[in-house]
Amino acid sequence: MTPGTLLFDRNFIYSDGTVGEKILVILNDGEIGKYVVVKTTSKGIHKGNIFGCQSSDRYPNFFLPLHSTCLRKDTWVGLDQFFEFTQQDVLNKVFTQQMHQFGLLPNAILKQLLDCAINCDDITKEQEKILQTTYKSIS
């Protein structure tokens, strides 16, 4: 998959074990066998509403206002949790129609999102390196 791919996951498993629908953003190409993924929300409680990086918010995020992308609502990309999915897990979910791709972030926005993510406190050193490689590969 291409970095910036937007996925709709019908059966996303939250950290508390509950399952629900969630829009996800793929942050790397998966060539290393896994994807670094972040989730989104349209609920702006405790979040800034100026386009772009909101790393100083209580829950760090990247704000995408309506009409800035293909998303149908104001959307906050959460940067307080980074998930890792294997390529196989993502492909299995796509083939079983539990997950589907519905859009792609423009490269200009993706680069800003990656820059913001790389500088967030909740990213691991390994994830940071993966995203730095992705950042450098985007024109």
Output the tens digit of pLDDT for each of the chain's 139 residues: 999 999 999 999 988 999 999 999 999 999 999 999 999 999 988 888 999 999 988 899 999 999 999 999 999 999 999 999 999 999 999 999 999 999 999 999 999 999 999 999 999 999 999 999 999 999 7
Q: How far apart are the first and last CA of the chain?
A: 17
How confident is the model at residue 46, as a pLDDT? 82
Q: Which domain holds residue 106?
A: 5-137
Domains contained in the chain, number? 1
- The pTM for the full model equals 0.95
Q: What is the CATH number of the domain that holds 18?
A: 2.30.30.110
Q: Are 112 and 135 in contact (CB under 8 A)?
A: no
Strands 52-54 and 61-64, sheet pairing: antiparallel
